[in-house]
Amino acid sequence: MAKEIKEFQLYNSMTKQKELFRPRVDGKVGMYVCGVTSYDLSHIGHARAYVAFDVLYRYLKYIGYEVVYVRNFTDVDDKIIRRANELGEDPITLSARFCEEFLADMADIQCLVPTHQPRVTEHMEQIKDMITKIINNGCAYHVEGDAYFAVDKYPNYGRLSGRRLEDNRAGERVAVDERKQNPADFALWKAAKPGEPKWDSPWGPGRPGWHIECSAMSAHYLTHAFDIHGGGMDLIFPHHENEIAQSCAACPESNVNYWIHNGFVTANDEKMSKSLGNFFTIREVTKVYHPLALRHFLMGTHYRSPVNYTISQLEIASEAVFYVYQTLQDCEEALLELKEEAEKNGKISPAAQECITKLHEEFEAKLSDDLHTPTILNSALQESLRFMNSSLNMLKKKQPKKQQLSTVKSLAELEKQVKEVLDVLGLLSNSRYTEVLQQLKDKALKRAGLTEDDVLHLIEERMLARKNREFSKSDQIRSDLGVKGIALMDVGKETVWRPCVPVQQERPDVPVQQEKPVELVKQENPVIPTEKGQPAVPAGEEQ
């Protein structure tokens, strides 16, 4: 049974409003999220989508639900075949390779492994069975080895996207085919072409259309009626619209309670595309920024709002992650000596208890309000970390033993709550704090074009300059490093360094030049993209 939560709301793209979440079966959730077409390395648009649904998956489990999470792979498709032909590789082998690369990227940005990860090529029988049912129910027809869904036979077509059939003009991503009864009819099965992968079927050898695969696989793993279906906003039409039509045509009882869609990713407020040169894979980003920084950045905007990818925002996210782990590391070191005694004899201070309670309540309240992660990251979590650092400073001063034990006990309990929040957000690494901090420093050095020895040498140079009272030189060394994202801090007689947000950003090795900051856009009623103006990340093939 799910534990009681005051309110858990999700925005439903079907009803265009936030709704209280009510699963079909008490205590259990079935969730299907459309996966990647595996023909290349995954881009940050993919990261945006799967981080958003990973947070939903984690939070559902956190509040007590038993979740079956299904995320598919499209491993046979026009794009895969084209790419394989370009590389002189077998399409199925190529797609299998990029499926594994995708899984590595998802692990890198700490997305949990779904319950099931079906591949199209492993579910041909389920796909053919569904097509057969649709044809037998009079909602599809076959011509010369191809099978098409007849949209005229489904009167509710367009209810998710709000589009009318007359909006689907031939030639605008809808393939022109004189054999179709209606230009908007879409392929369920495609007749084999020479040299393409093919499977036998009642309509002749061929392969599935794009849309039918998700209907067949979601029904196989979750039945025809389940709780949540998710994906990027660009999938609302035609992909999810077509899924609804064909699923209902195959089984009239087919139903999804909540349609959830994440917003797009742009780069400096421009559409992200390869032709504009602002299209980046996850690995291009994580080469110079820690994967946790990318995840933090993506969660810094509400999942339904567009994310504007800029270097300045990645720098801010990276610094935020460093601050989290430095605080946790400092806390771990401070608690080593007295933690056990404080556990027995210490009492949590009223101020600490208030901070713990506020973090817990705000965390659940904001995630229960359609997964509002930005407020947690930028408000509740920050307040808790500041309180922890204030308590750590108190421990450095002489305190009566009773007060000292209270401070340690308070720190230990607050650390637990902070770690719980980080865990649900997917920001708690399995590595030791020191390892994460070193990884963040290594990335900062890479962005700066420096080695740690370079920095240590400059620190020595600065110390010598200060000793010789050459303060303008010592200030210049510090300033030059600050421009490169390296902050020097004098701690007593010692100087240490940490990553920081650079004063300016003119490094050609970083994927995107910083211009404008990310803004959270309130999107209670998101605009459904039309075929003429597809934003951000394209997702699909012609119908």
Average pLDDT, whole number, for the chain?
A: 89
Query: Do residues 518 and 313 make contact, with C-beta atoms less than 8 angstroms apart?
Result: yes
Query: Do residues 379 and 362 make contact, with C-beta atoms less than 8 angstroms apart?
Result: yes
In the predicted model, is pLDDT for residue 520 greater than 70?
A: no
Encode 450-462: b = buried (16+ Cβ within 10 Å), e = exposed: beeeebeebbeeb
Q: What are the respective helix, strand and coil percentages of the chain, to the nearest 5?
A: 50, 15, 35
The pLDDT, as a whole number, for residue 179 is: 86
Provide the H-helix boundaries in 398-451.
401-425, 433-448
The pLDDT, as a whole number, for residue 529 is: 31
**Amino acid identity, position 134:** I
In the predicted model, is pLDDT for residue 4 greater than 70?
A: no
Pair type for strands 265-267 and 66-71: unpaired
What's the average model confidence in pLDDT over 343-371?
A: 95
For the question of whether the overall pTM of this predicted structure is more than 0.75, the answer is yes
**Amino acid identity, position 189:** W
The band of 119, judged by pLDDT with boundaries at 50, 70 and 90, is very high
Instruction: Give domain limits for the chain.
Output: 25-262, 310-435, 450-499
Summarize pLDDT for 313-335 with one digit per residue, the tens.
Answer: 999 999 999 999 999 999 999 99
Lowest mean pLDDT among 38-47, 88-97, 383-392, 515-524: 515-524
**Which residues have CB under 8 Å from 445's CB, separation 6+?**
451, 452, 455, 486
What's the average model confidence in pLDDT over 206-227?
A: 97
In the predicted model, is pLDDT for residue 524 greater than 60?
A: no
Query: Do residues 184 and 151 make contact, with C-beta atoms less than 8 angstroms apart?
Result: yes
Give the residue from 502, 515, 503 showing the smallest Cα distance to 447: 502
If one compares 520 and 285, the residue with the highest pLDDT of the two is: 285
The pLDDT, as a whole number, for residue 533 is: 30
The band of 268, judged by pLDDT with boundaries at 50, 70 and 90, is confident
Q: Which residues pair with 281 in a beta bridge?
A: 43
What's the average model confidence in pLDDT over 348-375?
A: 96
Is it true that domain 25-262 has CATH number 3.40.980.10?
no
The pLDDT, as a whole number, for residue 504 is: 67
Give the residue from 272, 180, 275 showing the smallest Cα distance to 234: 272
In the predicted model, is pLDDT for residue 3 greater than 70?
A: no
The band of 175, judged by pLDDT with boundaries at 50, 70 and 90, is low
Lowest mean pLDDT among 36-45, 267-276, 392-401: 267-276
In the predicted model, is pLDDT for residue 446 greater than 50?
A: yes
Q: Is the peptide bond before 499 cis (omega within 30 degrees of 0)?
A: no
> What ranges make up the beta strands (E) of 233-330?
255-262, 265-267, 270-271, 307-309
- d(Cα 282, Cα 36) in Å, to the nearest integer? 13
The number of residues making up the chain comes to 543
In the predicted model, is pLDDT for residue 208 greater than 80?
A: yes
Summarize pLDDT for 405-438 with one digit per residue, the tens.
Answer: 999 999 999 999 999 999 999 999 999 999 999 9
Percent of the chain scoring above 70 in pLDDT: 89
